[in-house]
Amino acid sequence: MSTKSQVTYVNADGLIVGRMSSNIAKRLLNGEHVIILNAEKAIYSGKRKSKIAEAHIFLEVGAPERGPFHYRRPDRMLKKTVRGMLPYHQPKGKMAFKRLKVFMGVPLEFKDKQTIQFEVAQSSKLKGPSFTLAELAKEIGWNQGE
């Protein structure tokens, strides 16, 4: 088991969102601090048009003034995906979620850090179509100026 002070840097460039998120959730529950870099370059598998149509239907749920509110920024979308794989309503899940940080691009403070990529989450193993999290975010209304 990992110690609480261990920090893992994950480069999300070219990794499949779901498989990467499940590996990160396991590490968070083991007590590691995880920092995800290049969140906008993570990969969704499947046909682009059908995934975007699903996202638009999902975003229409609820009253606009009361919620539920759905993120459109790639880093926040990825963070919420990882949260969905944690037992968030239990204390251990909330503590694990607090140990997660997600960034778009690579901030200067993390430029020289050694990053890992999960072998099981490589997008090179995909046979069908795929697209990035940034492409999905742009289609559902993300303005890059945010």
Tens-place pLDDT, residues 84-122: 999 999 999 999 999 999 999 999 999 999 999 898 888
Q: Is 105 left (phi over 0), alpha (psi -120 to 50) or beta?
A: left
Structure tokens at 104: 């778009």
Tell me what pLDDT residue 141 has: 80
Q: What percent of the chain has pLDDT over 90?
A: 54
Confidence of residue 47 (pLDDT cuts 50, 70, 90): low
More confident of the two residues 1 and 133: 133
**pTM reported for the whole predicted model:** 0.83
pLDDT at 3 over 70: no
Residues 104/40, Cβ–Cβ less than 8 Å: yes
Distance of CA 32 to the CA centre of its chain: 17
pLDDT at 15 over 80: yes
H or E, element range at 63: none
Q: What is the 3-state secondary structure (H, E, C) of 81-112?
A: HHHHCCCCCCHHHHHHHHCEEECCCCCHHHCC
93: CB partners within 8 A, 6+ apart:
29, 86, 87
pLDDT at 139 over 60: yes
Distance CA 112, CA 110 (A): 6
Segment 11-17 shows an average pLDDT of 93
Tell me what pLDDT residue 57 has: 65
Arithmetic mean of pLDDT over the chain = 85
pLDDT at 60 over 50: yes
- Stretch among 2-11, 37-46, 100-109 having the lowest mean pLDDT: 2-11
Residues 136/49, Cβ–Cβ less than 8 Å: no
Segment 133-146 shows an average pLDDT of 80
